[in-house]
Amino acid sequence: MTAAESIAKIAEVLSTPQIEEFYIPLLKRLSQGKWFTSRTSSAALYPPFYSKVLWSIQEDLQKGFATLGADDTPMVRRAAAKWLGVRDIYPVSVPIETLAF
């Protein structure tokens, strides 16, 4: 099991306030990291808690995830593509033209 998978399992049992206070800042730091490895790992961390947060936070998360999909590094884009659609990060109602891929 990778570190990202372990963190994702923890996220599944966190409460919404815990997610907002601890998990989302961690996710943002990893998603904006200098090294591609942190950005690659962050793609797996979006799905486990996505449905637990408010719509306004979900919109912010969609933007962060779209940034991973448009990353300069192919490994990051591949990781984002792997997790795209898991737990409805991008529901069917989101037009494909609005995605940054």
Tens digits of residue pLDDT in 78-93: 888 888 765 455 555 5
Q: Are 31 and 39 a contacting pair, CB within 8 Å?
A: yes
Q: Share the mean pLDDT of the chain.
A: 81
Least Cα distance to 66 among 36, 39, 34 occurs for 39
Least Cα distance to 45 among 60, 63, 21, 65 occurs for 65
Which of 91 and 17 is assigned the larger pLDDT?
17
Q: Is 101 buried (19+), middle (13-18) or exposed (0-12) by CB count in 10 A?
A: exposed
- Domain spans of the chain? 3-89
Per-residue pLDDT, averaged over 59-72, amounts to: 88
* pTM exceeding 0.85: no
The answer for residues whose C-beta is within 8 angstroms of residue 28's C-beta and 6 or more apart is: 64
Tens digits of residue pLDDT in 30-55: 999 899 999 998 888 888 788 888 88
Instruction: Report the distance separating Cα 5 and Cα 11, nearest Å.
Output: 10
Give the CA count within 13 Å in the CB-facing half-sphere of 44: 16
